[in-house]
Amino acid sequence: MNQQHQGERTRIREAMDRLLTGQATASNGSLTVVALAAEAAVHRMAILKRHADLRNEFYERVRNETQQIPETEKRLRETVTKLKKTVSNQKAEIEELRQLVTNLTLANAVLTQNADAPTEPDPVPDNIVPFRRPTT
């Protein structure tokens, strides 16, 4: 690791300490990687790419020292909850559609069977006299 990266790591660790003690000087004090990057005066992507171990350490310290859940984990949990609800709704809709297909198939079978039956003329009551056809 070169000197620049070592300097970044030192600044990031110092920024972690300031954020966790509530003494932020260069950020809004939130316990996020964005605030950590601002506090350490490094680019956010440097923490996410080059110093991923420090990012994980930061989140672990947030969890242990402040008894808080990191903001990213909260958002992920909310997303998972929404997705589970969506999956549940879709399963219910699929079951409803399967029931509808079954009912429509049965109705089709009944209608097809009735259409195939030979049609008998309706019986004529005894008190009705049919008209004669006109002759031309």
- The C-alpha angle 9, 12, 15, rounded to 5 degrees, equals 155
pTM flag (> 0.85): no
Q: What is the mean pLDDT of the chain?
A: 86
pLDDT value of residue 83: 97
Helix residue ranges per DSSP H, the chain: 3-20, 33-40, 44-45, 52-66, 71-116
pLDDT in tens, 113-136: 877 666 666 676 777 777 777 776
DSSP, res 130: P
- The pair of structure tokens assigned to 72 is 């990213």
The domain segmentation of the chain, as residue ranges, is: 3-68, 70-110
Distance CA 16, CA 10 (A): 10
DSSP, res 26: S
Distance CA 136, CA 112 (A): 41
pLDDT in tens, 45-85: 988 899 999 999 998 888 888 877 777 788 899 999 999 99
- The pair of structure tokens assigned to 133 is 């056809």
